[in-house]
Amino acid sequence: MRRTYISPEFDYKTVHGTFNMKEEATLLGSKMLEVEDSISIGNQNLVYYQTLDREQIDISIESALTPVSYSSSSDKRINHTLVIDDSQPSSQKDSKTRYILTIDLRTILINFLFATLKTYRTFEGVKNIMTKNKDVDFAIKEYIAKNVIDRYSLEKVELYLNYVDIQSQNVLRFNNVWAGYTDVNSGRTAISPDVLISENYQQKKIETQTEFDESRTIVTFNQEEKSGEFCFDYTYKIFYKKI
């Protein structure tokens, strides 16, 4: 072969396909994760196994290690705020108080999908070194953000309340506690979410306002029992549908 003495401008190297977590469409089709037609995030607990480096390689070895547990109830508790509406008149605040519940939808959905993929070992065999940031968990969440999130649309949010008599239980006013959680100040433990998430406790009269990108939603509601006599335990459930 005749030598040209022309230096190549590019150096071609093979890389793992997992370096790019964005699914690209091709003429003959491309692989795509199959997702459920609907998702409800209530009180699920998901458990999965992995190595100490967070990789999923061999279940027979990883099952001997401490499993990782994901609680959707705990995740929802962390990713929301509940405050009294300061714009309401004092007369309403002293009676049937209006509250504002702000939910971080995007974070909760990503965390739930991540735990689901880890539980079903969807990315089994992918090692940290095979990802762009050398972190398989980061790569999975990147995959979810780039390929899965946009395939779901918020359908509705359901709110559940259990009213607690302040006088009979010696509880402070406005001492509202997340379901199944123990308030550090009062020591009061709220009703279990397994019991609370039922039609008997559902708050029917709520208003919701969701961001255009569905990153968060704001739920406004009035306490049906007088706040001078009752506080409440609460939780919520999020419903999504596939687009």
For 147-168, write each residue's pLDDT tens digit. 999 999 999 999 999 999 998 7
User: C-alpha distances in angstroms, 212 versus 40, 70, 154, 173, 216?
Assistant: 20, 28, 11, 35, 9
Q: What is the mean pLDDT of the chain?
A: 90
- In the chain, pLDDT over 90 holds for what percent of residues? 77
Of residues 228 and 2, which shows the higher confidence score? 228
Identify whether the C-beta of residue 147 lies closer than 8 Å to the C-beta of residue 190: no
Helix 105-119 × helix 136-143 angle, to 10°: 120
Locate 162 and state its tokens.
């259990």
Exposure of 181 in the CB half-sphere (CA atoms within 13 A)? 20
Q: Give me the helices (H) in 120-199, please.
A: 136-143, 166-169, 193-196
| pTM of the predicted model over 0.85 | yes
pLDDT in tens, 107-121: 999 999 999 999 999
pLDDT band at 185 (very low <50, low <70, confident <90, very high): confident
Torsional sign, CA 21, 23, 27, 30: positive
